[in-house]
Structure formats: C-alpha cells, structure tokens
Amino acid sequence: MSEFRAAYRYALALLGVAEEMKKLDEVSRDLASIEKLGKDLHEFVVFLKSPVVNSEKKKRTLNEIFQGKIGEITMKFIHLLASKGREGLLPEIIQRFYALRDERLGILHVTTRTAVAFKPDQEKKLIAQLETATKKKIRLTYVTDASLKGGFVVQHDDTVWDASVRRQL
C-alpha cells in the first residue's frame, strides 16, 4: 500500500473516532502540538522515521514525550502507529487529518497573492464573495507578490480567480 493511501486511511480512522467520541477539537489541538514539535525539532521527525530504533523503544519515548500533554485518544493512536511500524507516517497523517476535517466542516483553504496587503474591509469583502461563490467557509492565506503590478490572484487547489492588472489588460 502506498504511503499516501496508508496516511489517508489512518487519518480517516482517527477522524472517525474523534467525531464519534466528540473530541474533534481536542484531537486537532493535540495534532497541532505534535506538528509544531516536528517543525521545531527536525530530530523528532528523523526519530519517527528511523528504522534503527525498534517499536518498543519508540513507544516508550513517545509516551515520555507526550504523557500528560495530549489526550487519551491521540495517545492511543500514536501507540497504534508505533505498534504497526507506521509512526514515520505521522506528519503525513496529520496533514490528511486536517484536510479531511476541513472538508467535513466545509472549510476551504484559499491562497491570495496581492501586490500590497489588503485593508481589513477589503479582506472581509473578498471573504464574503468567496463564501458566496463556493458556499463554504473560507480560510484565507495572504502572500505578497512583487511581480503583480496591481490587483490580486486567488487560488484554491487547481482553481484560480485572476483579478490582476495583467489579466485585465
């Protein structure tokens, strides 16, 4: 089974359990803290993916790191991954979990490239128009792009709304 499919299946299972136990917010916070640890400490990701360290040692170490810091559901999930030898997939599983969660909650991640930063009222108008067009809640990320002379470009996955000056000309 490919790494992508395995990560997707584990994320789907964790999402299902979190929803069933009504602990979706708690599990999301736990995964955010684990993700932050992975980004802040590259050695943590190397440790997870290391084939040299056996699964029992990984379980003990993960237990020491996260005991009392994350919820029971997330802790059991990490133990399951370690016992199956899939702890190296944890960063990918977290990304898949977020994508599945946002899809179920009707949240769309949109990136906006602008020449200059939007004013708060312009930002609200853009979000309102995007929510009307997509019928989903919008989570907007701004990127300042010096190559744009004016206007903006909104992108979600492979859909692009181009309102730049270059496009208008």
Least confident of 41-55, 62-76, 92-106: 41-55
Q: How far is CA 162 from CA 119, 122, 133, 152, 166, in A?
A: 19, 16, 14, 7, 9
Whether pLDDT at 167 is above 80: no
Whether pLDDT at 132 is above 60: yes
Q: Determine if residue 67 is left, alpha or beta; phi over 0 gives left, psi from -120 to 50 gives alpha, anything else beta.
A: beta
Q: What is the pairing mode between strands 159-164 and 107-114?
A: unpaired
Whether pLDDT at 1 is above 60: no
Task: Express each pLDDT in 19-62 by its tens digit.
Answer: 999 999 999 999 999 999 888 888 888 888 888 888 888 888 88
Lookup: tokens for 92: 């990918």
pLDDT at 101: 93
C-alpha to C-alpha distance for 26 and 77, rounded to whole angstroms: 13
pLDDT at 169: 64
- Whole-model pTM? 0.80
Please give the angle made by the CA atoms of 3, 6 and 9, to the nearest 5 degrees: 150
